[in-house]
Structure formats: C-alpha cells, structure tokens
Amino acid sequence: MARVTTGITSSHIPALGAAMQTGKSRDDYWGPVFKGYDPIKEWIAKPENTPDVIVLVYNDHASAFDMNIIPTFAIGCGERFKPADEGWGPRPVPDVIGHPDLAWHIAQSLILDDFDMCIFNQMDVDHGCTVPLSMMFGEPDEWPCKVIPFPVNVVTYPPPSGARCFALGDSIKAAVESFPEDLNVHVWGTGGMSHQLQGPRAGLINKDFDLKFIDMLINDPETLSKMPHIEYLREAGSEGIELVMWLIMRGALGDKVKDLYNFYHIPASNTALGALILQPEETAGEALDPRVVHSGHSLEAAE
Amino acid sequence: MTEKKKERIDIHAYLAEMEDIPGTRVFTAQRARKGYWLNQFAMSLMKEENRERFKADESAYLDEWNLTPAAKQAVLDRDYNAMIDEGGNVYFLSKLFSTDGQSFQKAAGSMTGMSEAEYAQMMINGGRSPEGVRSKKGGY
C-alpha cells in the first residue's frame, strides 16, 4: 500500500528561483539560504528517501486561477502541468508530471470524507509549486518523481481555517493509505513564514512567532490548528497566512512526528524562511547532523 | 434534525477584525469586488502579446479594462498603495511589476515610504518588528 512517509515544508518565493537562474545562489546574500537547503537536497537524493509521488500543497498566486474562479481546496488530476508565465515568461524548469491514478483516488476519497474538492486537469503551475521542487532537486532535465499539485486559496478572504487544513491532512493520509500500489508519498506544505508584501507594514518579520509556530507544528499541532486567522495576520503579516497550508502537511503525518531537519533563515527577500523534514515517529529515519540550523541576521547559530 | 454544528464564527466580527491591522488592507470580498477589473487587467499581462500591447500604449490598453479613473491613474503612476486602495491584490499586481522587470522586494518596498536601499537594509537587519503594528484599536 502507499504510505505518507515524510512531510516537508519549504519557502516558495520567486526570488529563490531567480537566484538559481542568475547564478547568485552562492553569493553573500543567498549563500546561507542555499547552504541551509544543501542537507535536504543530499537527504532527498538518496534513493530510499526520494518520493515516488509528492502531494504538493501550495497557493496559486493568481496564475491559474483569476478572480473568475476561486477554489478553496483543489487537486490536479491531469497527466502533466506546465510552468506558468507570471509576467516574465515561464520559469525554465521541467513540466510537472502528475499521477492521475493516485490523484483521482485521493480526490474521490476526500469527497467521500466530506471534503468537497475542486478537481482540475488542465492548469499551469506557478512558482508556488515549482520553486520548492527546484530547491529540493536543483536543476534536472526532469523532476525525479511525480507531483500532484494541491492548490489552496489563501489569497481571497476567507482562506480555510487552520483546523480545516489540519483535518484535511488527516484525510489525505487515509486516502493515500487506501491506495493499493506500494508508493513512497511525501506531503509538502509550502509558503511562509512571516511576511507582508503590501502597504506601509510591508517587510514585517516575526522571529519569535515563527520559531514558536515550528515548535507547535511538531509538538502540538492540534492546539496550533485552532489559531484564528487574525492572529496569523497580526503576528506573521498579511501573507503569513500561507502558514495554514503547513497544517495540511502536518495533519498527514499522524500524532507524533520527529523533525529530521529544521532550518530557519531571515531574510529571503521579503520573507522569513522555514524548511523542515518531518517523519511519523514510528517510521522515522535518522536525524540529520546538525539537526537544527538557524542563519541570517539576528539569529544565534543553533546547536 | 442533525446534530448541532460546532460553534460558528461571527462573520461580522471576523470582517471587522480584518480592518484592525495598521498599514494593511486584507483582500476581503469587498476589496475583491471593487478590484475585479484591475486584477483581471493585471492577469492579462501573463501573455507576451498583451505585455507588448500594454507597453506600446499603456493608456489605450487600460481603456479596454473597465477601470475606474482612479485605478487607471494608479497603474499609470505605478502607485501600488493606490492600486490596493482600488481593490488590487499584490499577487495579481505582481504581473504588472514583473512586466516592468521589477522584483517583489522593490514593489513591496515602494509601498512603505522607504527608499529601495533603506527597505532592503531593514530586511537584512531582520525585517519590520510587529511591535506596535498589530492592532489599530489595541495600539500594540
């Protein structure tokens, strides 16, 4: 049977993709970010850790969905998805190859489990989906695994509640586990952490909130899932609301998890960045060494 | 009757809270409706042929989009705060600043009243503190 072996969180900001494309990923500004991702890249490149399929939770940034249609939870069931042209031409990355059998299985299972999904077959995927792939897999000719795009509306209010996202993750786990084929499935939650991209308050970063969020995501996601939207907005900035998507990933991992790797960095352009590898405690592998890495301004080196 | 549903969120209180954050315009339905055409115009810039037509004659291109005069002027001025007042959303408007070859950081910084260099330095110094800008009413 298929299993959710791993949850990963990652930033998806377009500037990371641009830094790779323009050869700046090892300069003074971006170097610490990419260095923080190096252990994840090495870890995921090992055959036993490379997923067969990723359920990639992200928000579409007004690329595939305009004001005409605003699905709260959507799932890509098509064969392949092209990188979107977001105003500067499509990102020069491979097409995302879907897994229609598993995607349709998850879609049907979720609907029977009271999540009224929006299903799409044809859709371009934007930086929210492709930048995390680039950060984990570099610049290959094709992605090393199948990807099921799973866009969540966090742009037009109200987005789904944290509790609803957490419960959805649990339903995704059940759906994956009822798929007969033997597959290593990852669920990725992308976006965040604290950031605000609009108005006079733009540039907001809240390290204390972010580090507490990571801790609760690992140790007490149930309580975390009850945090109301207004607290995300006040504490983590208007775009910090993307963090609700991490609860979908966390919900898919069961009660107890082990953090194999825990990276936090300030700043990546306008944002604070968090990248985690989590696994269900009962099947968790070895933690990376070092396990916790903090970098950037105003952060003491961890461990 | 089915079992009573969980406690419901009061939508009026929810929406009122969204207006309580200093320097922030949350993209509520009210703003989404106001900015419908402005945001759809921005989406149109995802196609190269539209970017070319827009660059060739911005004013004429904008006239195709049913914009209010204030929204049109805000686009011509590249005044992102004014665009957001007109119901624009930054992810839609990103198609405009990408068409201009600008980064997210430059566009976001332009809304703060800081220079590009000052804003970039603030981010390197750890970003803007939430202290004092969490709540208008509460003043914390």
- Which residue of chain B comes nearest to A201, CA vs CA? B23
DSSP assignment, residue B128? B
* pLDDT score recorded for residue A299: 67
Residue B132 forms part of a structural domain: no
Q: Which residues of B touch A62 (CB under 8 A)?
A: 39, 42-43, 89, 91-92, 94-95
Residue A177's φ and ψ, nearest 5 degrees, are: -70, -15
Enumerate residues 6+ apart whose C-beta is below 8 A from A283.
A3, A5
Q: Which residues of B touch A13 (CB under 8 A)?
A: 104
Residues of A marked active site are found at 127, 195
Q: CB contact, 8 Å: B36 with chain A? A: yes
Residue B82 forms part of a structural domain: yes
Average pLDDT over residues A60-69: 91
Considering only A86-90, A113-117, B91-95, B115-119, which range has the smallest mean pLDDT?
A: A86-90
One-letter amino acid at A41 equals K
The percent of residues in chain B predicted with pLDDT above 90, rounded, is 94
Torsion of CA A263, A218, A128, A114, to 10 degrees: 170
When pLDDT is cut at 50, 70 and 90, the band that residue B5 belongs to is: low
Query: For the domain that residue B51 is a member of, what is the CATH number?
Result: 1.10.700.10
Residue B16 forms part of a structural domain: no
* pLDDT score recorded for residue A303: 46
B37-60: pLDDT as tens digits: 999 999 999 999 999 999 999 999
Higher per-residue confidence, A297 vs A162: A162
Residue B37 forms part of a structural domain: yes
Residue A232: its H or E element: helix A229-236
Whether B89 and A229 lie within 8 Å, measured CB to CB: no
Q: CB contact, 8 Å: A291 with chain B? A: no
* pLDDT score recorded for residue A297: 72
Picking from A62, A201, A203, the nearest residue to B119 by CB comes out as A203
Whether A61 and B91 lie within 8 Å, measured CB to CB: yes
A119-149: pLDDT as tens digits: 999 999 999 999 999 999 999 999 999 999 9
Q: Which residues of B touch A152 (CB under 8 A)?
A: none
Residue A298: pLDDT over 90 = no
When scoring A69, A154, A201, A264 by the number of chain B Cβ atoms within 10 A, the one with the most, hence best to mutate, is: A201
Largest CA distance in chain B: 63
Residue B21 forms part of a structural domain: no
Q: Which residues of B touch A15 (CB under 8 A)?
A: 103-105
Residue B35 forms part of a structural domain: yes
Average pLDDT over residues B92-119: 94
Q: Which residues of B touch A85 (CB under 8 A)?
A: 46-48
Q: How many domains does one find in chain B?
A: 1
* pLDDT score recorded for residue A87: 83
A8-23: pLDDT as tens digits: 999 999 999 999 999 9
CA dist A106 and A73 (Å) reads: 12
Average pLDDT over residues A195-219: 97
Enumerate residues 6+ apart whose C-beta is below 8 A from A200.
B22, B23, B81, B111, B112, B113
* pLDDT score recorded for residue A258: 98
Residue B44 tokens read as: 């149109």
Average pLDDT over residues A175-187: 98
When pLDDT is cut at 50, 70 and 90, the band that residue A300 belongs to is: low
Q: Which domain holds residue B44?
A: 26-101
Q: CB contact, 8 Å: B120 with chain A? A: no
Residue B43 forms part of a structural domain: yes
* pLDDT score recorded for residue A89: 87
Residue B1: pLDDT over 80 = no
Q: How far is A38 from chain B (nearest CA, A)?
A: 22
CA dist A50 and A57 (Å) reads: 18
Q: CB contact, 8 Å: B111 with chain A? A: yes
Residue A205: pLDDT over 50 = yes
Mean pLDDT of chain A: 96
Residue B63 forms part of a structural domain: yes
Whether B21 and A238 lie within 8 Å, measured CB to CB: yes
Higher per-residue confidence, A117 vs B7: A117
Predicted-complex ipTM score? 0.94
Average pLDDT over residues A268-284: 97
Instruction: Report which of A303, A14, A277 is spatially closest to residue A130, judged by C-alpha positions.
Output: A14
Size of interface A-B (CB pairs under 8 A): 167
